[in-house]
Amino acid sequence: MNALEVRDLHFAYGARQALCEVSFSLAPGRFSALLGPNGAGKSTLIALLTRLYDLQRGEIHVGGHSLRDAPRAALTRLGVVFQQSTLDLDLNVEQNLRYHAALHGLSRRQTDLRVEAELARQGLGERRREKVRALNGGHRRRVEIARALLHEPRLLLLDEASVGLDPASRLGLNQHVRRLCREHNLSVLWTTHLLDEVHTDDALMILHQGRLVASGQVDTLVQNHDGDLGRLFAGLTRPTATGAPA
Ligand code: ADP
């Protein structure tokens, strides 16, 4: 079963069409990248996937559960790291995780187990008593990933998670998420506007002005573009006069 199915998604902010006829599916246990320039519709798509916005037209299934008809079942299979951090900077790492677990109704015993497991998995065990304010950007992101995975979703969405990080932390975070995907059979949807965060064996979707203009494995997609993702991307994402979906 696919980790995620998106079918014929349309979304408009008033008269402004932000997504048009977007359909794709994510295979389980894979790192999938969603690439698009600013304004392409990535955040709108994430907002629909996480039910921040109601669906206008189209269907989304997470782990086979319809977000429209069975939202609880769908959302429990989803972990999300939003672009804007919502960590409490004055709480320490472990307190942030426990606070989130309490909000989501995990029992004391479940919380103890899950917090320990995620601290270990994210390499944060030694930092558990440090205030988030004292952590660098890369480690703060790891706390957010730990938090997103507390309820053991099978699919992790990251919305431009590397924005604002220095190059070394950006690379480190990307590698870390790939490791999670590989070693824990997690399905990942990584949205970015940075080409160097995408590898040749990734599944890739390119979004441009609200439309999916490419979808497939990177090495296949770049075959007719001298094997160069930059050329493929530049060719597919040339701005049009209106900037709206055609
Ligand atoms: P991305 O995340 O790829 O930068 P967005 O999803 O933020 O793209 O934006 C897609 C389109 O929708 C853009 O044209 C943007 O200007 C428009 N848009 C985004 N949010 C709003 C909003 N709240 N109201 C009106 N238009 C919006």
Residue type, 235: G
| Block residue for tokens 């269907």 | 59
> Could you tell me the distance, in angstroms and rounded to a whole number, from the CA of residue 232 to the centre of ligand 1?
23
Domain harbouring 223, CATH code: 3.40.50.300
- Determine whether the shortest distance from the Cβ of 41 to ligand 1 is under 6 A: yes
Of the residues 110, 131, 152, which one is the last residue of a structural domain? 152
Q: How far is the CA of 193 from the centre of ligand 1 (A)?
A: 14
The pLDDT value given to residue 4? 98
- 244 pLDDT band, cuts 50/70/90, is low
Domain boundary among 152, 186, 205: 152
Question: Which ligand 1 atom is the nearest neighbour of the CA of 83?
Answer: 2
Total structural domains within the chain: 2
Last residue of a domain, one of 112, 134, 152: 152
Please state, rounded to an integer, the average pLDDT across all residues of the chain: 94
Q: pLDDT of 131-175, one tens digit each?
A: 999 999 999 999 999 999 999 999 999 999 999 999 999 999 999
Residue from 9, 11, 13 to probe ligand 1 pocket by mutation (most atoms less than 8 Å from CB): 13
Q: Which two tokens stand for residue 139?
A: 């480690």
User: Same structural domain for residues 99 and 143?
Assistant: yes
The candidate with the shortest Cα–Cα distance to 79, out of 22, 28, 149, 10, is 149
Residues 39 and 159 in one domain: yes
Residues 65 and 170 in one domain: yes
The angle, 0 to 180 degrees and rounded to 10, between the axes of the packed helices 93-103 and 137-148 is 30
Same domain, 100 and 167: no
Q: Which residues pair with 69 in a beta bridge?
A: none
At residue 154, the pLDDT reads 95
Query: Do 194 and 240 share a structural domain?
Result: yes
**What's the order of all strands across the beta sheet hosting 4-13?**
16-26, 4-13, 57-62, 65-66
Ligand 1 site, residue 239, Cβ cutoff 6 A: no
Domain interval for residue 115: 88-152
Contact assessment for residue 125 and residue 92, using Cβ atoms and an 8 Å cutoff: no
For residues 179-192, b (16+ Cβ closer than 10 Å) or e, as one string?
ebbeeeebbbbbbb
48 Cβ closer than 6 Å to some ligand 1 atom:
no
The pLDDT of residue 55 is 97
Q: What is the pLDDT of residue 241?
A: 53
Residue 33 and residue 19 share a domain: yes
Atom index in ligand 1 nearest the CA of residue 13 equals: 25
Q: Which two tokens stand for residue 244?
A: 């709206």
Alpha-carbon span 242 to 244, nearest angstrom:
5
Question: Are both 103 and 173 inside the same structural domain?
Answer: no
Q: Are residues 52 and 134 in the same domain?
A: no
- Statement: residue 122 has pLDDT above 90: yes
Q: Any bridge partners for residue 65, and if so which?
A: 62
Q: Are residues 97 and 131 in the same domain?
A: yes
- Cβ of 15 below 6 Å from ligand 1: no
